Structure 1
Amino acid sequence: MSASSSTPLNTNADALWFAPAQLLRLFGSSPVAMAYWGHDQRLRLATPQWCEWFGIPSTGVAGQLLTEALPAAFLETHRDTLQAAALGQRQQFDASKTDAHGVTAWRRISLSPYIWQGKASRKTADGVLMLMQDCTAEYHARAEATVLHAQLAALSSTEQERTEEKGELLKLRTLLDWRTAMLAEHSDMLQLLSHEIRQPLNNASAAMQATMKAIADLHLEQATPASKALLRAEHVLQQVIGTLDNTLAAGTILAVGGKAGASTDTDLPTLINLVLHDIAADNRPRIQVVWDADVRTVQLHPALMRLTIRNLLNNALNYAPADTPVLLRIAESDDPLALIIEVIDQGPGISEELRPRLFEKGSRGAEHRHRAGAGLGLFIVRSVVQLHQGMVQALPREPHGTIMRLELPQGLDD
Structure 2
Amino acid sequence: MKLRTRLTAWYAGVFLIAGVALIGLNYWLLAEWAPFNEGVVAARALPTYPDAIEVAQLPADTLVITADQVKASTMSTVLWQSIIALLVAAVLAVWLGWVVAGRVLAPLHEITSTAHRLEATRLDQRIELEGPPDELKELADTFDGMLDRLASSFDSQKRFVANASHELRTPLAVQRTLIEVALGDPGATDEVRRLGAHLLDTNERSEKLIDGLLLLARSDRGLATRGLVWLDETVEDEVESCVSLAASKKVTFDVSVRPYLVEGDPVLLAQLVGNLLRNAVLYNKPGGTVSVRLDRDLVVSNTGPTVPAEAVPGLFEPFRRLRDRTGTAGSGLGLSIVQSVARAHQGSVKARPNGGGGLVVQVNLPETGVRQPS
TM-score normalized by structure 2? 0.45
Higher helix fraction: Structure 1 or Structure 2? Answer: 2
Q: Which has the higher contact order (CA 8 A, sep 6+)?
A: 1
Normalised TM-score (structure 1): 0.42
Q: As a proportion of its length, which structure holds more strand?
A: 1
Pick the structure with greater CA Rg: 2
